[in-house]
Amino acid sequence: MSQPNIVIIMADQLAPHFTSTYGHPVVKTPHLDALAARGMRFDAAYCNSPLCAPSRFSMMSGQLISKIAAYDNASEFSATIPTFAHFLQLMGYRTCLSGKMHFVGPDQLHGFQDRVTTDVYPSDYAWTPNWELPDERIDKWYHNMDSVREAGMAATTFQIEYDDEVCFFAKRKIFDYAKHKQTPFCMVASFIHPHDPYVARPEWWNLYDHDEIDLPTHMLGPEEQDPFSRRLMDGIEASSVAVTDDEIKNARHGYYANTSYFDSKIGELVQTLEEAEVLDNTIIIVTADHGDMLGERGLWYKMNFFEHSTRVPFVVAGPGVIQGVSDNAMSLVDLLPTFLDLAETNDIKRPDLGVELDGRSLVPLFKGKDDKSEAIGEYCAEMTGHPVFMIRRGDFKYVHCDSDPPQLYNVPTDPLEMNNLAGDPAHKELADAFAKEVAETWDGEALRRDVIATQKQRRAIYQAMEKDGSVHWDYNPPREASQEYVRNHMDWTVAAETNRFPPPKRKT
């Protein structure tokens, strides 16, 4: 079997619960539905950290965030950490990134040979939390309730402009690879929607009847929350800024609309792969970096290990993937070993990795074979002062933080996670076993000291970079307009022929 192309289509902050693919009665995601119908849907897929940059760095490296110091949205992704883009390049792939990956630091490629857009967020240390003042808000960049209160329609936003650009350049690059026969290729097309603010163009907003927009299934007030969730409410001001049912419905309406907008980009990219005559040999994966609580439990956005925040959609289709549904727990850290399996042939072997990976290949699951059911999560960012750890194994999820009571849930029987079993005598043996595993796996206090140390270092560097004349790391995509389309140094007939796909048939 030849090496397949690999295309990862990534949403930002998309919980699978809010797609028709995963059974939502209102949200419309027909293109994701179509991929699931001819491939495999994973019903227990998790991010490894419920925050943008840490999740993405873990996914790309195949390592958990505590091993690579990817603690928060201002943690540097070190250039010394190999990624799936490096390994696939060594195995003969052309690698491309179109869109968001939230790389922080001077290395803005991390193995991608072609990067065709800039990022949507800053690449410096501006968004560094302060664990020595865990209860203090940083108003400049902390989430607040404005995204909920100001949801609605707009003709354009920076997010719409960004995602339109991401899709355009991704499609153009797919055709470039087809025209110049640059295969196999691995492309990540990474969009910012449906991430808040929940503002949509009219055609997507009007796709939904506002009266059909559902309210959260279960909402908790500040005094009903566990300690960690209460800190989250305080941090995003949900405990002090009241929102009405109408505002909540508007926010969910905008989110649903932008989910359908993202779904339309899936359709455009799949159509382009088909038109470029590479669809039959392309593995397509649709996923996200984390989810969105969207008002469930009284919480918004992410930054916790409840299902709506930490679970992600994961749909895969392509050669060798059977049609079906898997309820095996897995996580984004499993992508790198999966790609190595997909790329390896009798003639092309995987390179020396030089690192110990934390994930496992999903290829057996793609083929319908049984496999272990496990996902590991870590959170070391804002609104806490201690690391938070999650173990999802089989039916159970265990969450530990040194400063908070433990949590244990049976996810299939309690999907809203309303019944904490950690103090239930019937589950004491299981809870004790999880607690022992956490203590043996992580040194929480040592990790906390390292998080605080890196925060201090990064804040100092950021203050220096803010001085006049500093060079910032934001990526500027190279582009030579003088070499595009038709120019005086070109034969226009040659330009027309070489940039046409399929190429014209020669007349005899």
Does 136 map to a domain?
A: yes
Does 178 map to a domain?
A: yes
H or E element, residue 378? strand 374-379
Task: State the CATH number of the domain containing residue 142.
Answer: 3.40.720.10
User: Does residue 294 contact residue 11 with C-beta atoms inside 8 Å?
Assistant: no
User: Does residue 11 contact residue 255 with C-beta atoms inside 8 Å?
Assistant: no
Q: How far is CA 97 from CA 89, 185, 285, 367, in A?
A: 13, 11, 14, 28
Does 294 map to a domain?
A: yes
Does 398 map to a domain?
A: no
Task: Tell me the two tokens of residue 458.
Answer: 């990064």
Residue 42: strand, helix, or coil? strand
Task: Give the pairing of strands 314-317 and 282-288.
Answer: antiparallel
Alpha-carbon distance of 276 to 170, in angstroms, equals 12
Domain containing 226 equals 5-373
Alpha-carbon distance of 145 to 330, in angstroms, equals 32
The number of domains in the chain is 1
Task: Tell me the two tokens of residue 337.
Answer: 């070993």
According to the model, what pLDDT value does residue 1 have?
A: 65
According to the model, what pLDDT value does residue 496 have?
A: 82
pLDDT along the chain (508 residues), means of 10: 94 98 98 98 98 98 98 97 98 98 97 97 93 80 89 96 98 96 95 97 98 94 94 93 95 98 98 98 98 97 97 98 97 98 94 93 95 96 95 98 97 96 97 98 97 96 82 90 88 82 78
* Confidence (pTM): 0.96
**Catalytic residue positions, numbered:** 52, 102
Closest to 355 (Cα-Cα) out of 86, 66, 63: 63
User: Does residue 198 contact residue 255 with C-beta atoms inside 8 Å?
Assistant: yes
According to the model, what pLDDT value does residue 444 have?
A: 96
Q: Is 112 exposed, middle or buried (0-12, 13-18, 19+ CB in 10 A)?
A: buried
| C-beta atoms surrounding 369 within 10 Å | 9
What crossing angle do the helices spanning 245-275 and 30-38 adopt, rounded to 10°? 50
H or E element, residue 36? helix 30-38
Does 489 map to a domain?
A: no
According to the model, what pLDDT value does residue 268 have?
A: 98
According to the model, what pLDDT value does residue 507 have?
A: 67
Does 138 map to a domain?
A: yes
Does 236 map to a domain?
A: yes
According to the model, what pLDDT value does residue 134 have?
A: 78
H or E element, residue 5? strand 5-12
